[in-house]
Amino acid sequence: MNLKQGDAVHKSNDKSRLRLWLKLLKSSNLIEDQLRRFFRDKHSTTLPRFDVMAALSRYPSGLKMSEISGLLRVSNGNVTGIVDRLNSEGLVQRVSVPGDRRAHLVILTSEGEKMFEHLVGEHTTWINEKLGGISLEEVKGFIKRLDYLNKTLEDEK
Amino acid sequence: MNLKQGDAVHKSNDKSRLRLWLKLLKSSNLIEDQLRRFFRDKHSTTLPRFDVMAALSRYPSGLKMSEISGLLRVSNGNVTGIVDRLNSEGLVQRVSVPGDRRAHLVILTSEGEKMFEHLVGEHTTWINEKLGGISLEEVKGFIKRLDYLNKTLEDEK
Question: What are the structural domains of chain B?
Answer: 28-155 (1.10.10.10)
CA of B12 vs chain A CAs: smallest distance (Å): 5
B-facing residues of A in 114-143 (CB < 8 A) are: 121, 123-125, 127-131, 133-134, 136, 138-143
pLDDT in tens, A14-28: 889 989 988 998 898
pLDDT in tens, B48-75: 899 999 999 999 999 999 899 888 866 7
Q: Are residues A56 and A108 in contact, defined by beta-carbon separation less than 8 angstroms? A: yes
CA separation for the pair B1, A41 (Å, rounded): 33
CA of A127 vs chain B CAs: smallest distance (Å): 6
CA separation for the pair A99, A97 (Å, rounded): 6
Interface test with B, best of A7, A10, A17 (most B CBs within 10 A): A17
Q: Least CA distance to B33: which residue of chain A?
A: A157
Give the pLDDT of residue B115. 95
CA of A86 vs chain B CAs: smallest distance (Å): 24
Inter-chain touch A128–B12, beta carbons under 8 Å: yes
Q: How confident is the model at residue B12 (pLDDT cuts 50, 70, 90)?
A: low
Give the pLDDT of residue A5. 43
Highest mean pLDDT among A73-87, B21-35, B77-91, B126-140: B77-91
Is the CB of A76 inside 8 Å of chain B's CB atoms?
no
Give the pLDDT of residue B56. 96
Give the pLDDT of residue A110. 97
Inter-chain touch A150–B25, beta carbons under 8 Å: no
CA separation for the pair B9, B7 (Å, rounded): 6
Inter-chain touch A131–B17, beta carbons under 8 Å: yes
Q: Are residues B61 and A58 in contact, defined by beta-carbon separation less than 8 angstroms? A: no
Give the closest of B12, B127, B150 to A30, CB-based: B150
Side-chain half-sphere of A69: how many Cα atoms within 13 Å? 12
> B123: Cβ–Cβ under 8 A, 6 or more apart, which residues?
A18, B35, B38, B50
CA of B17 vs chain A CAs: smallest distance (Å): 6
Any bridge partners for residue A107, and if so which? Answer: A93
Inter-chain touch B34–A153, beta carbons under 8 Å: yes
Indicate whether B41 pLDDT > 80: yes
Give the pLDDT of residue B103. 82
Give the pLDDT of residue B48. 87
Give the pLDDT of residue B5. 44
**Cα first-last separation, chain B:** 34
Q: Least CA distance to B15: which residue of chain A?
A: A124
pLDDT in tens, A24-42: 988 988 888 888 888 889 8
Inter-chain touch A30–B136, beta carbons under 8 Å: no
Indicate whether A157 pLDDT > 70: no
CA separation for the pair A141, A30 (Å, rounded): 21
State mean pLDDT over A139-156: 87
ipTM for the predicted complex comes to 0.76
pLDDT in tens, A91-138: 999 998 888 877 899 999 999 999 999 999 998 998 898 888 888 898
Give the pLDDT of residue A73. 67
- Chain A residues with CB-CB distance to B125 below 8 A: 12-13
State mean pLDDT over B34-43: 88
Give the pLDDT of residue B73. 67
Indicate whether A149 pLDDT > 80: yes
